[in-house]
Amino acid sequence: MFLLVLLLYRWAIVIPHFTNEEVKKQTQLESAYTSGGLKRILFWTPFFSGTSLKDVGLTEEGDGYQTFCPYRCKFTTNKNLLHLSDAVLFHSRDLQTNGVNGLWESRNIPETRNWTQHWVFYYFESAEYTVVPLNAFNNVFNQTISYRLDSDIYAPYSRLLPRSLEEINNYARVSETIKKKTKMAAWIVSHCVTKSKREDLVAQLKKYFPIDVYGYCGDLECPGNRQISCYKEIGHTYKFYLSFENSLCEDYVTEKFFNALNAGMVPVVYGGANYLHHAPEGSYISVNSFNSTQDLATYLLMLDKNQTEYLKYFEWKKWLKVDEISMLPRAWCTLCERLTVGSFPKGRVVQDLNDWWFHKQGTNSPACSPPNHQLLDY
């Protein structure tokens, strides 16, 4: 009797009423998932409404096995395996809440939990566009995964890696490719009105040189049927890419920056992050380094005419390259590693998720800044 009470307390589960057939099916499931001693990771919420492993960057075969990852875990979206999972993942955009008299409570999370599990909050959009009231989830999660540097698992949209000695020796100089570029600047965009007012910045720059706008907010169609192939195609033609974020938030640098670097364009960046955390000085041009859009335009036009100076923005490519592994699989690999080696601190709870997410690290300052009105010539 004591053993039964102890087990119920440990697992903290409500015993449901199953038919014999349901018990048989559940036993088969548990048997299949308890072999091998691998850690199990359950995606509890959808990912932007996607409910398959493919939607979170994993393969359906082999429980989401990732060949590049030195650690192996079992990934699943099957909620029947909740109490057999070592970690349970919750995507912020797909969390749900109820609000009554200004008080918020969470809705679509399990009513009970195994307290040996790690409940993990993950999100890759900026705090400016976080629509779920996160104070409903204070003291709920054990770990966080996001683009923020102070996340438990830091998951940038991409990263630069050192080239191998063989790659350095075989590196082809980019000057011949650069000489073939005939156009000034491109911008791929589908979010037309933003918190950062990047659209106003583009309008200001258009006074000084032409900017070709691709996508939903422009009048040009992106070549290629995938975003990455689109960047590669326009990279053959354009010298600069406007890597302007939709919000100016701490650490927030999206894939557009890395896609431009990878495609052989110089990113002109407008964001709230310290870009030196992501790429070396001299690989990009920061809007915030200039007092006005006119000063920025003058500098870009100088580079357009001076090939020697322009080519200096590609010197980093001999030593570094953009990681080929995308953000989601890389994040899941790190989570799998932490679970496997047991490096997560025991008993940790994110006490104030709302405060952490909406403020800069260790301060009371908002995580996101307003647009630079002086730069926008308001």
CATH code for the domain of 314: 3.40.50.11660
Hey, is 49 helix, strand or coil? coil
**Are 141 and 49 members of one domain?**
yes
For residue 281, being part of any structural domain is answered with yes
d(CA 295, CA 293) in angstroms, rounded, equals 5
**Are 204 and 351 members of one domain?**
no
Task: Tell me which of 103-117, 197-211, 238-252 is least confident.
Answer: 103-117
Q: Which of 58, 78, 77 is nearest to 68 (CA)?
A: 58
pLDDT digits (tens, 9 = 90+) for 315-358: 999 999 999 999 999 999 999 999 999 999 888 999 999 999 99
**Are 247 and 197 members of one domain?**
yes
Q: How far is CA 291 from the centre of its chain?
A: 30
Q: How many domains does the chain have?
A: 2
125 is catalytic: yes
**Are 215 and 309 members of one domain?**
yes
Which amino acid is it at 285?
I
Domain around 220 = 160-322
CB atoms within 10 A of CB 63: 19
**Are 247 and 210 members of one domain?**
yes
For residue 1, being part of any structural domain is answered with no
Q: What is the pLDDT of residue 6?
A: 39
Asked if 28 and 100 count as a contact pair (C-beta separation under 8 A), the reply is: no
Work out the pLDDT band at 17, boundaries 50, 70, 90.
very low
For residue 6, being part of any structural domain is answered with no
Asked if 48 and 94 count as a contact pair (C-beta separation under 8 A), the reply is: yes
**Are 230 and 192 members of one domain?**
yes
CA distances from 73 to 13, 35, 50, 121, 362 (A): 24, 12, 21, 18, 33
**Are 97 and 85 members of one domain?**
yes
Mean pLDDT of 76-105: 83
For residue 9, being part of any structural domain is answered with no
Instruction: Point out the domain boundary residue: 290, 307, 322.
Output: 322
Mean pLDDT of 57-82: 92
**Are 214 and 296 members of one domain?**
yes
d(CA 209, CA 221) in angstroms, rounded, equals 20
Q: Which of 269, 254, 215, 275 is nearest to 125 (CA)?
A: 254
Higher pLDDT, 187 or 169: 187
For residue 375, being part of any structural domain is answered with no
User: Which residues, in sequence order, are CB contacts of 239 under 8 Å at separation 6+?
Assistant: 178, 181, 183, 184, 185, 265, 266, 303, 304, 310
Q: Is the pTM value of this prediction over 0.85?
A: yes
For residue 341, being part of any structural domain is answered with yes
pLDDT digits (tens, 9 = 90+) for 359-368: 999 999 999 9
**Are 185 and 196 members of one domain?**
yes
**Are 180 and 125 members of one domain?**
no
**Are 78 and 169 members of one domain?**
no
Mean pLDDT of 188-207: 96
Q: What is the chain's length?
A: 378
Q: What is the pLDDT of residue 237?
A: 94
User: Which residues, in sequence order, are CB contacts of 31 under 8 Å at separation 6+?
Assistant: none
Residue indicated by tokens 């979206």 = 77
Asked if 296 and 302 count as a contact pair (C-beta separation under 8 A), the reply is: no
Q: How far is CA 6 from the centre of its chain?
A: 41
For residue 34, being part of any structural domain is answered with no
For residue 308, being part of any structural domain is answered with yes
Kindly name the residue from 30, 125, 250, 281 that is annotated as catalytic: 125
**Are 152 and 258 members of one domain?**
no
Q: What is the pLDDT of residue 113?
A: 86
For the chain, give the percent of residues with pLDDT over 70: 86
Work out the pLDDT band at 105, boundaries 50, 70, 90.
low
